[in-house]
């Protein structure tokens, strides 16, 4: 079978250039400590941009997020500083004079406001429960809050008598919407004395009472998000039967009338329906839906609709855009959204009337998120090109914008030896075209054969893209510096290649995925690029599952690392918090089709395992519960295969603190160093 090779990008740095002799190989800690740009929002008039930046706090062992502000023609600067927790979700007031945000400063997550002309942030809310999201009313005189209800009195009384226990899928609290007034000139309650009035009512007297929140919605459902209409009269609400993660598949859309207080369901298909945006005239809503699909929505496209509130007749838009939409926004210039296009993520403009669409040109290659000014004339982006870190950009909204980078985050790596990225394409066993990112060291020599490290993304509907500093818990830059190539395959099921491609591993999990990985290895070998006697493979979540499948089905790798991976689909099915995932991909539960569960489970072929395998897992992982790790570990040990399980205490599905992420990176460095390079490596206890 003919193999195809296509190098479509070789990324040359666009930031400050150092000579090769000046560049350094960064330490693990430096990679973990890279600052990362996150949420971005532009002010109503377009003159200011607020965005979040994540940093590592090694003393407190946490990742901190704070808000930065960029004004026209000035350098961005850090606006918030919460020493013990983060500040997130910045939102400009309608008049652009205030910035509100969420922060926990010792009394749950509250809404804070900061006057942009100067001054300190102060709390708008003092709720007993943390606030999950909020929005300004267009008049700027009140805010809407989304927060959970209080724990019921019956549960409190039960705890007093019987202690703590939980009934699975039944003990939860709903979230609803409250509103609260905002008056910047309201006096501080400390400005007048407050006395308890000694009468039978025990009321307070002569007090300055701060504004209190008022409940707007109620009912036997939980609200996940909402948005006020531009005219300030209606609330569009996403809600589902309960807060359980899989209830999102039953989400519906309602509209709440601010004047009558009536709540009306306007979209209620059997599958998930999710509101996205209001039309500028407040007469229509934009939403995405799985319609009545409850059996394949994990891997099939959601559909985009607009619907007039008055007649409730949905009109599908952009039906030929063959990927799931993200970041949908509707302003006077049109509807905008991002869609994966292989390893690129462009912005598309959709015409509201007929659903036609076009791609905005001149943009960075991968757009993570964006925000528009009130007029739609200006936009702010979180985006990057393949050789950059995530950056914040500003642009005029035209068919061919010319974004300006205002954050310069990539200067952090200007003197680093970073990954050189190419895209390669090959055919898998069944003829499917598979694309992958191939990373080469900065001093790559085409006459040499290199050890190969294969790093597999999660999902399966994730995607790997060209980038200068890939990693997570894998020391990719250091392996490149050591003299290896790194392949990150976008195996069948990955996002970016259309619905049909995302469906290729249905009833073929592990099997087809392994085809795609191994044919990629064969392709690189046929090109004379790699030393097949020195290869390792690893991944997290779905990537961990594929790595586990490979460790029990091939002897071609010298070492394997399984991060939070599935080893037995039966064990997984009865333990995970997303049971329908398994049924959708395997098309049955284990009692109806045991054979498909055996075919796709690494444990079925455990007797074929010979490759030394490191297993990494979070102690409290609900997505891939830890019994999968113990089952694989014992099976490998029973076969005499070198195996080690490292449990990261108090973590779920991801390693979310810098010190444990550093440990996980060292564990992989040690494991592959030993079995691929034949080195004994000690973890340093001091610098």
Task: With residue 637 as reference, give the H or E element that holds it.
Answer: helix 627-638
8 A C-beta contact, residue 240 and residue 247: yes
3-state helix, strand, coil split of the chain in percent (to 5) is 20, 35, 50
Average pLDDT over residues 130-145: 97
Residue 576 has phi, psi (to 5 degrees) of -70, 160
| Tens digits of residue pLDDT in 477-525 | 999 999 999 999 999 999 999 999 999 999 999 999 999 999 999 999 9
pLDDT value for 332: 96
pLDDT category of residue 12 using cuts at 50, 70 and 90: very low
Return the closest-CA partner of residue 98 out of 83, 79, 81: 79
pLDDT value for 204: 66
Q: Is the pLDDT of residue 37 over 90?
A: yes
| Average pLDDT over the chain, rounded to an integer | 93
8 A C-beta contact, residue 59 and residue 453: no
Average pLDDT over residues 228-253: 96
Task: With residue 513 as reference, give the H or E element that holds it.
Answer: helix 511-526
| Tens digits of residue pLDDT in 603-662 | 999 999 999 999 999 999 999 999 999 999 999 999 999 999 999 999 999 999 999 999
Neighbours of 150 (CB within 10 A): 11
Average pLDDT over residues 422-443: 97
pLDDT category of residue 2 using cuts at 50, 70 and 90: very low
Residue 288, SS3? strand
pLDDT value for 172: 87
pLDDT value for 202: 60
The C-alpha angle with vertex 240 and arms to 235 and 244, in degrees rounded to 5, equals: 135
Q: Is the pLDDT of residue 276 over 70?
A: yes
Q: What percentage of the chain reaches a pLDDT higher than 70?
A: 95
pLDDT value for 442: 87
pLDDT value for 5: 37
| Tens digits of residue pLDDT in 163-211 | 888 888 888 899 999 999 998 776 676 677 777 665 555 666 677 678 8
Paired with 238 in beta bridges are 225, 253
In 332-484, DSSP assigns E strands to 334-338, 347-350, 357-359, 366-372, 378-384, 391-396, 404-405, 420-427, 433-440, 450-456
Q: How far is it, in rounded angstroms, from Cα 130 to Cα 149?
A: 10
pLDDT category of residue 160 using cuts at 50, 70 and 90: confident
Q: Is the pLDDT of residue 8 over 50?
A: no
Q: What percentage of the chain reaches a pLDDT higher than 90?
A: 87
Q: Give this prediction's pTM.
A: 0.92
Edge-to-edge strands of the sheet including 36-42?
Answer: 36-42, 48-57, 62-71, 77-78
| Domains of the chain with bracketed CATH | 442-676 (3.40.50.1820)
8 A C-beta contact, residue 359 and residue 376: no
pLDDT value for 9: 41
Radius of gyration (C-alpha) of the chain in whole angstroms: 27
Q: How far is it, in rounded angstroms, from Cα 633 to Cα 620?
A: 17
Better pLDDT: 151 or 103: 103
pLDDT category of residue 433 using cuts at 50, 70 and 90: very high
Better pLDDT: 28 or 204: 28
Return the closest-CA partner of residue 470 out of 486, 484, 494: 486
Q: How far is it, in rounded angstroms, from Cα 497 to Cα 581?
A: 20
| Tens digits of residue pLDDT in 436-452 | 999 999 899 999 999 99
8 A C-beta contact, residue 471 and residue 488: no
């Amino acid at each position: 079978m003919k193999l195809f090779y296509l190098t479509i990008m070789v990324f040359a740095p666009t930031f400050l250039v150092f000579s090769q002799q000046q560049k350094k190989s960064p330490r693990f800690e430096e990679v973990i400590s890279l600052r990362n740009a996150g949420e971005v929002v532009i002010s109503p008039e377009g003159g200011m941009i607020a965005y979040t930046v994540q940093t590592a706090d090694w003393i407190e062992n946490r990742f901190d997020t704070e808000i930065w502000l960029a004004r026209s023609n000035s350098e961005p600067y850090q606006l918030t500083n919460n020493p013990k927790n983060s500040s997130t979700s910045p939102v400009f007031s309608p008049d652009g004079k205030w910035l509100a945000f969420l922060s926990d400063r010792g009394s749950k997550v509250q809404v804070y406001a900061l006057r942009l002309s100067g001054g300190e942030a102060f709390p708008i809310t003092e709720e007993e429960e943390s606030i999950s999201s909020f929005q300004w009313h267009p008049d700027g005189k009140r805010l809407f809050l989304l927060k959970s209800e209080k724990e019921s009195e019956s549960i409190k009384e039960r705890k007093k008598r019987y202690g703590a226990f939980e009934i699975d899928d039944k003990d939860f609290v709903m979230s609803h919407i409250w509103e609260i007034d905002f008056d910047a000139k309201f006096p501080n309650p400390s400005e007048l004395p407050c006395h308890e009035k000694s009468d039978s009512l025990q009321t307070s007297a002569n007090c300055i009472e701060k504004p209190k929140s008022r409940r707007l919605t109620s009912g036997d459902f939980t609200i996940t998000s909402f948005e006020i209409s531009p005219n300030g009269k209606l609330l569009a609400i996403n809600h589902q039967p309960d807060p359980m993660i899989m209830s999102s598949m039953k989400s519906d859309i309602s509209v709440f009338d601010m004047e009558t207080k009536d709540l009306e369901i306007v979209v209620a298909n059997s599958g998930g329906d999710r509101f996205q945006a209001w039309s500028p005239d407040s007469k229509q809503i934009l939403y995405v839906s799985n319609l009545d699909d409850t059996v394949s929505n994990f891997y099939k496209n959601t559909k985009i609709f607009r619907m007039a509130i008055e007649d409730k007749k949905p009109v599908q838009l952009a039906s030929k855009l063959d990927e799931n939409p993200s970041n949908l926004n509707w302003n006077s210039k049109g509807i905008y959204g991002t869609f994966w296009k292989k390893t690129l993520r462009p912005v598309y403009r959709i015409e509201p009337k007929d659903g036609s669409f076009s791609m905005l040109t001149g943009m960075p290659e991968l757009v993570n998120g964006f925000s528009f000014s009130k007029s739609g004339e200006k936009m702010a982006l979180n985006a990057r090109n393949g050789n950059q870190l995530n950056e914040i950009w500003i642009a005029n909204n035209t068919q061919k914008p010319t974004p300006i980078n205002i954050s310069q985050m990539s200067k952090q790596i200007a003197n680093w030896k970073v990954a050189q990225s190419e895209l390669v394409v090959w055919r898998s066993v069944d003829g499917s075209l598979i694309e992958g990112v191939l990373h080469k060291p900065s001093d790559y020599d085409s006459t040499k054969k290199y050890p190969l490290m294969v790093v597999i993304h999660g999902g399966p509907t994730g995607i790997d893209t060209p980038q200068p500093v890939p990693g997570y818990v894998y020391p990719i830059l250091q392996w490149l510096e050591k003299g290896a190539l790194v392949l990150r395959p976008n195996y069948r099921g990955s996002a970016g290649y259309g619905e049909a491609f995302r469906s290729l591993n249905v009833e073929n999990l592990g099997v087809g995925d392994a085809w795609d990985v191994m044919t990629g290895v064969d392709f690189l070998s046929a090109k004379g690029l790699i030393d097949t006697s020195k290869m390792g493979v690893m991944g997290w979540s779905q990537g961990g599952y594929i790595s586990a499948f490979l460790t029990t089905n091939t002897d071609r790798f010298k070492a394997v690392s399984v991060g939070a991976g599935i080893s037995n689909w039966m064990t997984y099915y009865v333990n995970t918090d997303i049971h329908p995932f398994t049924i959708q991909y395997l098309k049955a539960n284990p009692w109806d089709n045991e054979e498909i569960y055996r075919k796709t489970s690494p444990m079925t072929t455990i007797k074929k395992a010979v490759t030394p395998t490191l297993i990494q897992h979070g102690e409290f992982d609900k997505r891939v519960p830890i019994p999968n790790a113990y089952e694989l570990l014992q099976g490998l040990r029973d076969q005499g295969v070198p195996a080690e399980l490292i449990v990261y205490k108090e973590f779920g599905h991801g390693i979310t603190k810098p010190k444990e992420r550093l440990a996980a990176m060292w564990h992989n460095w040690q494991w592959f160093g030993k079995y691929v390079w034949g080195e004994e490596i000690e973890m340093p206890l001091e610098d």
